[in-house]
Every structure is written in C-alpha cells, then in structure tokens.
Amino acid sequence: MRQRLLVVLLLFSLTAVTAFAAPLLLSTASERTQQFVISRTADLDRFATLPGDLVVAEALRYTEVYGEEVVVVDAAGQPLVESGMTVADVSAQIDAALRNQPAAPVPTVLPWNGGDVLFARPVGTGTKVAGAVVMRASTGVAAADVARRWALVLAGALLAACACVLLVLVVARWLLRPLKELDRGVRAVAEGQRRTHVADTAGPAELRALAESFNRMSDAVAEAADQQRRLIADASHQLRNPMAALRLRVDMLPRNGSLLTEVERLESLLDGLLALASAESTATERAAGGVEPELADLRVVAHDRVDAWRAAAGSAGVTITVDDRAPGLVRCAVSDLAQVLDVLLDNAIKYGGSEVAVVCDRSTLTVRDNGPGLSEEDIEHATERFWRGEGPQRGTGLGLAIAERIVTAHGGRLRLHTDGGLVATVELPKEPLL
C-alpha cells in the first residue's frame, strides 16, 4: 500500500510541477522571440526612414557593429546598399516587400533552433512603395537567452519536484503510520494477545478515532474472553464440592450401576471443563508472550505416557506399541505434550480397535489405531467442544478440543484422518538438536 500511495502522490506532484513549468517555458520563449522581432523591426523602420545619402553609411556601420547583413533597394529593385549580401540572395523577400505583402511570422526561438531570420519591409507610406529594406538577423543571442531562462525555470522546477517528493514522503508516513499500527494490533489480537493497544495520537483525525475504537474493542474482547474463562473455571470449581458430596452419598447407597455411571460422567465433564479452561488460559498467556517457551523430548514423553496407559489398554484388550524413528526436541511444555498424548491414547483405547501405534518422528507425533475411524463430516467437527461421535461409549466431547487448543497454542497443528483406522497427527515446532 505504501508503494501505491507514494506512486500516486508522486505522479500527482510531478504532473502539477510539469503543468506549471511547461507553459512557463513556452511563455519565456515567446516573450524573448517577441523582443527579438520588435528590436529588428525597429532597426528596419530606422533604415526605411533615413535619407538616401545616410542609409549607405548607416547600413555599413550596422553590419560592422552587429554582424547582421542589410540590403536596401529602390522602387525598381535596384540596390542602394548591399552590406554583407546581395540583391540576388534575397530577391524573393525584396519582391514581396515591393508588392507590400506581409512578411511570414518569425518562428518561436528555442534553445536548439538558433539560426538566421530574414526581415523585409517596404519603404514608403500607404500604398506608395518607394523601395524595400531586407535584413538577415541571427537568433543566436536570443536562443542563448532562452536557454539560460529555461535553465532557471527547470532548476526551479527541479527544486519544486524535490520539495514535492519530500512532502509526499512526509504525508505518506503521516498517513500510513497509524495504518501500520492498526495492522500490527489486528495481527496481535488474531494471535491471541490480550488487550493489544495501538498509538492513537498520530495521523488524521479519522485514523486517530479508528485507533481509539480499536483499543476499546481490544479491551472489550479481552474482557469478554476473561469473563468466559472465569465463568468456566469458577463454575467447574464451584461444582466440584457438591459433586464430591454427591459422590459420597451415592457411595453410601445400595449399588446402582447407572447412577454411579452418571456421577462418574459428571465428574469427568467437570474435569474436562477445568482442563479446557486451563488450556485456553495457558494458550492466551503464551500468545501474549507471558510464558517462556519450553522444550520437550518427544520420545521420552511418548514412552512415559504409553507406560502409564498400558494397564488400561491391557484391561480393554488393546496392544500399544511405540516406534521412535528419529529423536526430536519440540517447543512444547512436557506437561502439555503429556496431556495431548493422554487425550489421543484415551480416545484410541476407548474407540479404536485392538491395536494402537504411537510413532515419534522428529517433531511429529502420530497415534494410529485399527478401529472404524471417523467419516469426513465427523472429522470436521471432532475438535469442537462437546462434540461426541456415535458409539456405545460416549465421552465428554472435550478431549480433542483441549488437545487441539494446546497444540495450536504452541504453534503446532493437530490433524485427523482415517486410514485403516483413525490417525491423529500432532506437528509441533522443532528445536535443532545440539
């Protein structure tokens, strides 16, 4: 945008300077040409009014002083004086003057067309022509004057153009600086940084007002997000005590499988809500730069969590294998990576088949099962909150949402697809091995 604005403003400025300088150049040349014509016409008039005995001496002296040639003839075309040129050289001009025909206009003198110009004038009054005067005048001096004046005009135009360029740069900076600030602020908000403010003291009044509105919007969005997180966390936390009391009372009752299952489901849901609130809070802090990046060894975390889940997998008749193809350090907290892997292993054991494979390849973690997988439509909604697939075992619908939020917060990506079972791939920013 800066380049487009500069191009438009520069073209406008240079066009304005050119529109001013071009007529001034033409006016200067026309004025000097007019001065030249008036001067030589006055000399012709003086020769035409001199008596015959003086015109010869004056013509010779004029040629000697100014270097311009003069021919004077009588009414019959016979030469009275030939100073520097002959009647034959200018016979056409003499004939036209004796017939009292108007002379051709002198072309505008320009710096590059300096040369000789012929002036002719009849001698006499009214319709009575007593002779003619022809002068060959050089436009060299006039052309040099025009060139000098043009140089001054062009120098002034160049200075004006430089001033316009500086003005354009200042104006462009004045206009674009608030826009750059707004762009930076929008990017920061999109990356999850809370309460991002931009300077609202520079630029036009309209952009200052826009910056103020952006700051208010940023505060409102941050406050709304904070309230939402607090609501989820507070509600989940406040419900834990009543849920614990309810669990104690249920345990004291005669065994009721369905009632106990519902209580356990509610406990799992509350745990999921707390985990989601914690994940979103951590993600926001990381996006705002409030948390230092940590490193985790993908292989170590994978082996640790697989060992922790072997007993549950064995009870469900599921075999878990680990394939650590290549070592890799990733930019992710160990606890966060472990939580993501717990979610993926839990889903694979509950909803997959009889085999689960965990593959570590540098900065990529893959959990694959041999179950029925998910349809394309289900995959599109799998990471949404409270989405649950069809099946005999129904979860809280928060596990994949929590995992996706954690991975995204660390600059990674969680991808799901079906290939002989569900395949969950976690890609995280890698850290070069030392």
Look at the alpha carbons of 187, 192, 193, 199 in this order and tell me if their dihedral is positive or negative.
positive
SS3 state at 59: helix
Lowest-confidence region among 25-29, 126-130, 326-330, 408-412 = 126-130
> What is the H or E stretch that residue 248 is in?
helix 205-252
Q: Specify the pLDDT at position 291.
A: 56
132-178 tens-digit pLDDT: 888 898 888 888 888 999 899 888 888 888 888 888 888 878 877 88
Phi, psi of 281 (to 5 degrees): -65, -45
pLDDT (mean) for 412-418: 91
Residue 133: count of CB within 10 angstroms of its CB? 28
Asked whether the predicted pLDDT for residue 392 surpasses 60, the reply is no
Asked whether the predicted pLDDT for residue 186 surpasses 70, the reply is yes
Task: Using pLDDT thresholds of 50, 70 and 90, give the confidence band for residue 395.
Answer: low
210-265 tens-digit pLDDT: 888 888 888 887 777 777 667 766 766 666 667 677 767 767 666 666 666 676 77
> Is 418 within 8 Å of 379 (Cβ atoms)?
yes
The residues spanned by each domain of the chain are 2-146, 205-286, 293-431
pLDDT higher for 284 or 225?
A: 225
191-216 tens-digit pLDDT: 767 678 887 777 788 888 888 888 88
Distance of alpha carbon 337 from the chain centroid: 38
Mean of all residue pLDDT scores within the chain? 81
Q: Specify the pLDDT at position 255.
A: 65
Residue 365 CB burial class (10 angstroms; 0-12, 13-18, ≥19): buried
Q: Specify the pLDDT at position 92.
A: 87
Task: Using pLDDT thresholds of 50, 70 and 90, give the confidence band for residue 356.
Answer: very high
The percent of residues above 70 in pLDDT, for the chain, comes to 81
- DSSP codes of every residue in 112-152: T---EEEEEEEEEETTEEEEEEEEEEE-HHHHHHHHHHHHH
> Is 409 within 8 Å of 279 (Cβ atoms)?
yes
> Is 246 within 8 Å of 263 (Cβ atoms)?
yes
Task: Using pLDDT thresholds of 50, 70 and 90, give the confidence band for residue 433.
Answer: very low
Q: Specify the pLDDT at position 57.
A: 83
Q: Specify the pLDDT at position 281.
A: 64
Its CATH class, for the domain covering 205-286, is: mainly alpha
**CA distances, 56 to each of 62, 72, 145 (Å):** 10, 8, 31
163 is written with which tokens? Answer: 């001033």
Nearest CA to 146 out of 113, 106, 119, 117 is that of: 113
SS3 state at 359: strand
pLDDT (mean) for 35-62: 84
Question: Cα angle at 289 between 285 and 292, to 5 degrees?
Answer: 90
Give the side-chain half-sphere CA count within 13 A for 97.
29
pLDDT (mean) for 364-385: 87
96-126 tens-digit pLDDT: 888 888 878 888 888 888 788 889 888 876 6
Phi, psi of 71 (to 5 degrees): -130, 130
405 is written with which tokens? Answer: 């939020």
State how far the Cα of 15 lies from the Cα of 17, in Å rounded to an integer. Answer: 5
Asked whether the predicted pLDDT for residue 14 surpasses 60, the reply is yes
> Is 49 within 8 Å of 42 (Cβ atoms)?
no
Lowest-confidence region among 117-131, 192-206, 327-341, 384-398 = 384-398
Judging by DSSP bridges, how do beta strands 295-297 and 329-331 pair with one another?
Answer: antiparallel
Q: Specify the pLDDT at position 427.
A: 92
Angle between the N-to-C axes of helices 2-49 and 140-190, in degrees from 0 to 180, rounded to the nearest 10: 170
> Is 147 within 8 Å of 32 (Cβ atoms)?
no
State how far the Cα of 413 lies from the Cα of 426, in Å rounded to an integer. Answer: 6
pLDDT (mean) for 306-324: 89
**CA distances, 102 to each of 54, 111, 118, 393, 397 (Å):** 26, 27, 13, 113, 104
> Is 119 within 8 Å of 94 (Cβ atoms)?
no
Task: Using pLDDT thresholds of 50, 70 and 90, give the confidence band for residue 414.
Answer: very high
Domain 2-146: CATH architecture, name and number where available: 2-Layer Sandwich (3.30)
Longest dimension (CA), the chain: 154
293-431 falls under which CATH superfamily?
Histidine kinase-like ATPase, C-terminal domain (3.30.565.10)
State how far the Cα of 428 lies from the Cα of 434, in Å rounded to an integer. Answer: 18
